[in-house]
Amino acid sequence: MESNAVTKALSVQLMRGRLDVTVDASQIDPGSLFGFAERRNPKRAFLFVSKVLGRHIPVRPSIMNASFHSLAAQIPEDLPGPVLVIGMAETAVGLGAGVHRAFSATRPDTVYMVSTRHPTGNELFARFEEEHSHASAHLIHLPVDPDVREMMLNARSLVLVDDEASTGKTFINLHRALVDAGLTQVERVVTCVLTDWSGDAVRKTIGDSAHQVSLLQGSYTFHEDAEAPLPEMPAVGTIEPGEWPLTAESDWGRHGIRVVEDTLALDLNVKAGERVLVVGTSEFVWRPFLLAERLERAGADVHFSSTSRSPIALGHAIGHVLSFADNYGLGIPNFLYNVSPGQFDRVLICSETPVQAVSASLIESLNAEVIVDGQ
């Protein structure tokens, strides 16, 4: 897929100011790649809402998979191994897994991990900050499996995956935290995003060993209205263990993996053309995506989305919002965007916590079935 280098200017008026965007190059039409929304976050007013990610807007699995492959195809083939791929919580844990799957098809010397806001009780390796975020702290666990741990600790290349890079600071913070924690053999760093607004920031800080890949490159300017009131942000930043403990036994990335098997609801049947929504919950999205992918191959009209702790205002790319209690027992609100009751024939909510942990109001409003990992 070749990049379109025609410059395009976009602009949106938000409650707290005007966002002006310049698209310098894009592999697909920018309007098919992202929209705009307003954060309920006093630290940053605006949000680029991906139309191919499957987080805030339901997306067909095949469209998501095409993005995985488009990004993986741009990763340099000559990276020295082992290669450690890291997907950023919570928005890009599925994107990172998809890029890892596509990249590892020709590079078996790769391991995938995620940053997380859900500590499992196992040993932590590093912590870093996403300074503008509604939940700024990220944790990296030390792998439990000895072989995966050895690959991680001896990584010579890093592929850092997020949905977008606005300034590049989060990638810079993550790289610094990993090196400080003991990844001293790293020779190459690749940042991998859907939309890159950061210019050359990562390479300027890390050096010529850094390489940036994306589906779109551009820049933005936000003209903030100093008199606009700041929103109240819900308390969603906790990184404490919840009421429902998590373990490493059925890990899909927090403790490092080489491959994740498709294990959810293997006996589930769908009708041809049946409108099905598969919903991941928080960071638990990759196994649900594999289910959605399987159901799409079976002939259903499948879309994928996920709950989120990210508070976003209604309007622009956000046409509907459901709010409910999180399913980890943290006592924080979660949200599901752009999914209305009755929009789909069948809604499948996938969870790594027990069914009783999933919000009853969410299940009732969508007339949903709950699928629990490992059951």
CATH number of 8-224: 3.40.50.2020
Return the domain boundaries, the chain.
8-224, 275-372
Q: What residues form DSSP beta bridges with 284? A: 281
Q: Rounded distance, CA 161 to CA 181, Å?
A: 19
User: Does the N-terminal peptide bond of residue 90 adopt cis geometry, omega within 30 degrees of 0?
Assistant: yes
Q: What is the chain's pLDDT, residue by residue, as a tens digit (375 residues)?
A: 445 666 899 999 999 999 999 999 999 999 999 999 999 988 889 999 999 999 999 999 999 999 999 999 999 999 999 999 999 999 999 999 999 999 999 999 999 999 999 999 899 999 987 655 554 688 999 999 999 999 999 999 999 999 999 999 999 999 999 999 999 999 999 999 999 999 999 999 999 999 999 999 999 999 999 999 998 888 887 888 899 988 777 789 999 999 999 999 999 999 999 999 999 999 999 999 999 999 999 999 999 999 999 999 999 999 999 999 999 999 999 999 999 999 999 999 999 999 999 999 999 999 999 999 987
The Cα–Cα gap between 264 and 72 comes to: 25
Task: Measure Cα distances from 182 to 54, 61, 154, 297, 343 in Å.
Answer: 34, 37, 9, 43, 49
- Residue range 275-372 forms a domain whose CATH class is alpha beta
What tens digit of pLDDT does each residue of 199-258 get? 999 999 999 999 999 999 999 999 999 999 998 888 887 888 899 988 777 789 999 999
Strands 210-224 and 275-280: unpaired
Burial of 333 (0-12, 13-18, 19+ CB in 10 A): middle
8-224 and 275-372 in the same fold: yes
Q: How many CB atoms lie within 10 A of CB 369?
A: 14
- Where would I find the beta strands (DSSP E) of the chain? 8-14, 17-26, 34-38, 46-50, 83-87, 110-114, 124-129, 137-141, 157-165, 188-196, 210-224, 275-280, 301-306, 321-325, 333-337, 346-351, 369-372
Preceding amide of 82 cis, omega within 30 = yes
